[in-house]
Structure 1
Amino acid sequence: MATPHNAAAKGDIAKTVLMPGDPLRAKFIAEHFLENAVCYNTVRGMYGYTGTYHGVPVSVQGSGMGMPSIGIYSYELFHEYDVDRILRIGTAGGVADHIHLRDVVLGQAACTDSNYAAQYHLAGTYAPIASFALLEQAYQTAGRLGIPVHVGNLLSTDVFYNEPSPLPQWAKMGVLATEMESAALYMNAAAAGKEALCIVTVSDCPLRGESTTAEERQTSFTDMMRIALETACA
């Protein structure tokens, strides 16, 4: 049954979904990597497709920007469409000194300044982490493909424009990169008893004033796409 945000019917979506933030990146993946891809959603321009990769059914769908947006879409995928695994393939800002433009980072965990965990009424601070099975598989897959990756902590923040920037302090605590979705995805997966992993490409390094273009972010970050697709089919 369709939801307010997704026109797909039960069975239209594969058990494993790749989720870029940008719906146009979902379209790019469907057109360049999947075989026999069929579009199942265009509601709010949030494209979703299902096809096969090496004969294995895989879906790809945009999540939008921020934890509220990925929170809605991933919740519906887990609970309404019986999806078992979501691999976020997004962009991030590198904050650690050794992280550079176009590096790929596997999000082992996600710090956050969000209040997203308040809904669970926990008597403490929840630490959102990735599925170790997916993380291990993605790391091994990257090695097999010859793609260097970093593994470590992300910062999922609710604030894009923040002055003064808190990023130097997060970098001091070992955070590799900052983005806006991973913590909510990890919490939704945990609450649903499902699996999630965030694979991000560094699109900018805000502390050094370095950045890539919108077109590069949409079409050229193929290393993380290949890692995610191969992991989904392992």
Structure 2
Amino acid sequence: MQEGNIKETPHIKPNGAPIAETVLLPGDPLRAKFIADTFLTEVVMFNEVRGMLGFTGYYQGKQVSVMGTGMGTPSMGIYSWELIHVFGVKNLIRIGSCGAIQDNMNLYDIVLAMGASTDSEYVRQFHIPGHFAPIASYDLLEKAKKVADEKQLPTHVGNVLSSDVFYNADENAIGKWREMGILCAEMETNGLYLNAAAAGVNALTIMTVSDHILRNEQTTQEERQTAFTNMMEIALTIA
């Protein structure tokens, strides 16, 4: 358990509320509120700066926090860095949506991001003398796969694309990533895994397929906010 934290940043102002060592990170701050309201007890809000809601409570007796991150690597980069380096977070679990690009994937399937390819330049700040492959914490990945299997959920484990581009002018880009076995496209995991690796902490991304890019299938915004409960329960169970 982490005691009340008097520290703050320009983006996170807890006002003395605790932040747990394990934080769930949905992109949508309203999804963070839904998780707090639905699954946690003894909930306190630790952030509302810029509308990026953060809450700490208890799940089955264990303290856990949940906070929105916004969209894209820059936003994830800011919040994950501050949570790690200012507030001492040790386990960061992204729970988000993704667009599938493989034929054997369907809406609502679970994706566990073993690795995160990217078209982002976020890695350049670390001055690595080569090509670094950001990967998940194996401990968190193994636990998440076990929980998903116990729930008999259709689950895909592999490499995902963290792209800086949502509306891509290159119509051939997705096809090229698909040919390399990439499971799906999203926008945050690469930055999260890089920050976690640089700091020596644990990170995992768990996602629900919200749309299939090549089949033009999609869920609604309301479903993305509240209906992805399997993903949320996996994350909370391993928290």
Q: TM-score range by the shorter chain?
A: over 0.9
Gaps of 5+ in 1: none
**Inter-partner Cα distance in structure 1 for 2:69 and 2:31:** 11
**Inter-partner Cα distance in structure 1 for 2:134 and 2:17:** 29
**Inter-partner Cα distance in structure 1 for 2:185 and 2:112:** 12
1:201 pairs with 194, 203, 208, which one? 208
Please name the residue that 2:188 is paired with.
181
Is the Cα–Cα contact under 8 Å of residues 70 and 76 in structure 2 kept in the other structure?
A: yes
Please name the residue that 2:3 is paired with.
none
Is the Cα–Cα contact under 8 Å of residues 11 and 81 in structure 1 kept in the other structure?
A: no
1:52/1:76 Cα in 2 relative to 1: closer, same or farther (>3 Å)? same
Please name the residue that 1:42 is paired with.
48
**Inter-partner Cα distance in structure 1 for 2:9 and 2:182:** 36
Please name the residue that 1:56 is paired with.
62
Please name the residue that 2:75 is paired with.
69
**Inter-partner Cα distance in structure 2 for 1:67 and 1:9:** 26
- Provide TM-score, normalisation by structure 2: 0.95
Secondary structure of residue in 2 paired with 1:111: strand
Please name the residue that 2:136 is paired with.
130
Mapping for residues 93-108 of structure 1, pairs under 5 Å:
93-108=99-114
Residue 118, structure 1, aligned to residue 137, structure 2: no
Please name the residue that 2:19 is paired with.
13
**Inter-partner Cα distance in structure 1 for 2:16 and 2:27:** 23
Is the Cα–Cα contact under 8 Å of residues 10 and 81 in structure 1 kept in the other structure?
A: no
Question: CA offsets, 1:153-207, max 9 Å, x none?
Answer: 1000000000233111111100000000000000000001100000011111111
**Inter-partner Cα distance in structure 1 for 2:110 and 2:43:** 26
Question: CA offsets, 1:50-82, max 9 Å, x none?
Answer: 000000000000010000000000000000000
Gaps of 5+ in 2: 1-6
Calculate the aligned-residue CA RMSD, in Å: 1.0
Instruction: Give the aligned residue type for 1:43.
Output: V
**Inter-partner Cα distance in structure 1 for 2:44 and 2:150:** 29
Instruction: Give the aligned residue type for 1:194.
Output: V
Question: CA offsets, 1:65-112, max 9 Å, x none?
Answer: 000000000000000000000000000000111111111100000000
Secondary structure of residue in 1 paired with 2:77: helix
**Inter-partner Cα distance in structure 2 for 1:194 and 1:10:** 24
Question: CA offsets, 1:100-151, max 9 Å, x none?
Answer: 1111100000000000000000111111100000000101111222322110
Residue 2, structure 1, aligned to residue 8, structure 2: yes
Q: Cα distance, 1:4 vs. partner?
A: 0.2
1:80 pairs with 56, 80, 86, which one? 86
Percent identity over the alignment is 55
Residue 160, structure 1, aligned to residue 166, structure 2: yes
**Inter-partner Cα distance in structure 2 for 1:206 and 1:101:** 11
- Provide TM-score, normalisation by structure 1: 0.97
Residue 217, structure 1, aligned to residue 230, structure 2: no
Instruction: Give the aligned residue type for 1:35.
Output: T
**Inter-partner Cα distance in structure 2 for 1:38 and 1:218:** 20
Secondary structure of residue in 1 paired with 2:136: coil
Instruction: Give the aligned residue type for 1:181.
Output: E
Instruction: Give the aligned residue type for 2:143.
Output: Q
Is the Cα–Cα contact under 8 Å of residues 100 and 205 in structure 1 kept in the other structure?
A: yes
**Inter-partner Cα distance in structure 2 for 1:9 and 1:110:** 34
Q: For this pair of structures, how many residues does the alignment match? A: 232
Instruction: Give the aligned residue type for 2:124.
Output: A
Instruction: Give the aligned residue type for 2:80.
Output: S
Instruction: Give the aligned residue type for 1:173.
Output: M
